[in-house]
Amino acid sequence: MATLVREEVKPGRVLSLDVVRGIVIAFMILVNDAGGRESYAQLEHAAWNGWTLTDLVFPSFLFMVGIAVVFATEARLSKGETKRTLMRHALYRSVVLFCFGLIVNAFPLFHLSTWRIYGVLQRIAICYLVMSAAYLLSKKAAVFVGITVASLVGYYVIMRWIPVPGYGIPGRDVPLLDMDHNWVAVIDRAIMPAARLYQRVRDPEGLLSTLPALGTAALGVLTGLWLRSARPAVTKVVGLLAAAVSGIVLGEIWNIWFPINKKMWTSSYVLFAAGCTLLLLAVCYFLFDVRKARREWAYPALVFGSNAITAYMVSELLAGALGAIRFESGGATTNLHRFIFDGVFAHIGSPAFASLLFALVYVGVCWIPNWVLYRKKIFLKV
């Protein structure tokens, strides 16, 4: 599997990238690991069309992966490594990430008949590999603009204008983005049995919706190119803000014809989510890389951001373990997650507040192993 290595903190690192990555990972853990069945609206995914803060988490992380492709590749090229070596490493890392995703999906029982193939890390692995290959072939911004436009426009054409077998043309014979009668769901059902799909009839990380996700990662690469340019720092901040506003506005405009929808990863969603991520990045870049704010202010986020994949794996595997450990309590069968929530948190405030409090404590628990690694200056890589 993967080899984990020690790596020292590098001087000159763009601090805001770790801060943003840490904020995103912390929020991802928060919304993924609520205590009870009720949560505040912004801590749940939108039912279908529309968005909440929770819907912005995954694209933000994928966007940061695109930025990381630029910085990591340039750092290794500066050490004299060849493009062929870097391509082999990108392929290796993608395979490892994909396998990590499979482990997360099946842990701890590993039922082969229901083992979900799609997933968060699997989508990241595919997008990372494609962006790495494209960047090693060409560092021109025009290439990644082309990837973005082709993936978003191409996806729109498929989802809006190509007849869905057995249902007809979306928007005419069947509602546009009908939950079950769309190309994403049809393809996923054709290649995967229902037991392997997250929602039985469709999957939010399905095959076809990975196409616009490439656009999310490509926008991240473009941002990485901008941040590595020789332009003045203030100019970079202005550029980030301008791009943020453009993404949000264009996403909302496209939303009129192609609704913002996280589960379908629609093209409007890509632009809108990228704009929101750019806004957060612009603020953090200004504070920590331009104004040189004290890094202690962002210490909790830095701890998560420096070992983001480790934090995600810890949170997912721990959640799986808490759900799998079952025992008798009060004459009924329960699991450790439910036992802790009902015994400690359930009676504190409203159900939504109790659920949030559990999630906050869970984030803190997942932070501890990352903090140990950060204190020892150990950054785990694959």
Q: How many domains does the chain have?
A: 2
Return the pLDDT at 109: 87
Domain limits for position 240? 62-293
Give domain status of residue 49, yes or no: no
CA distance 236 to 217: 19
Region of residue 200 (left: phi > 0; alpha: psi -120 to 50; beta: else): left
pLDDT tens-place string over residues 12-63 = 578 999 999 999 999 999 999 988 888 999 999 999 999 999 999 999 999 9
Give domain status of residue 56, yes or no: no
Question: Does 278 share its domain with 156?
Answer: yes
CA distance 350 to 333: 25
Question: Does 289 share its domain with 359?
Answer: no
Return the pLDDT at 4: 44
Give domain status of residue 51, yes or no: no
Residue 140 tokens, joined: 């021109």
Classify 258 as helix, strand or coil: coil
How distant, in Å, are the alpha carbons of 51, 111, 341 from that of 355?
21, 29, 8
pLDDT tens-place string over residues 298-307 = 999 999 999 9
- Residues of the chain scoring pLDDT < 50: 1-11
Return the pLDDT at 245: 98
Question: Percent of the chain beyond pLDDT 70?
Answer: 97
Average pLDDT of the chain?
Answer: 93
CB burial of 126-142 (b: ≥16 within 10 Å; e: otherwise) equals bbbbbbbbbbbeebeee
The single-letter code of the amino acid at 193 is: P
Question: Does 126 share its domain with 4?
Answer: no
The single-letter code of the amino acid at 242 is: A
CA distance 151 to 163: 19
The helix (H) or strand (E) run that includes residue 334 is: strand 332-335
Of 267, 293, 319, the residue that ends a domain is 293
**pTM for the predicted model, two decimal places:** 0.93
Question: Does 275 share its domain with 367?
Answer: no
Alpha helices in 162-258 (DSSP H): 183-191, 210-228, 233-255
CA distance 82 to 87: 9
Question: Does 68 share its domain with 138?
Answer: yes
CB burial of 240-251 (b: ≥16 within 10 Å; e: otherwise) equals bbebbeebbebb
Question: Does 6 share its domain with 94?
Answer: no
Question: Does 68 share its domain with 158?
Answer: yes
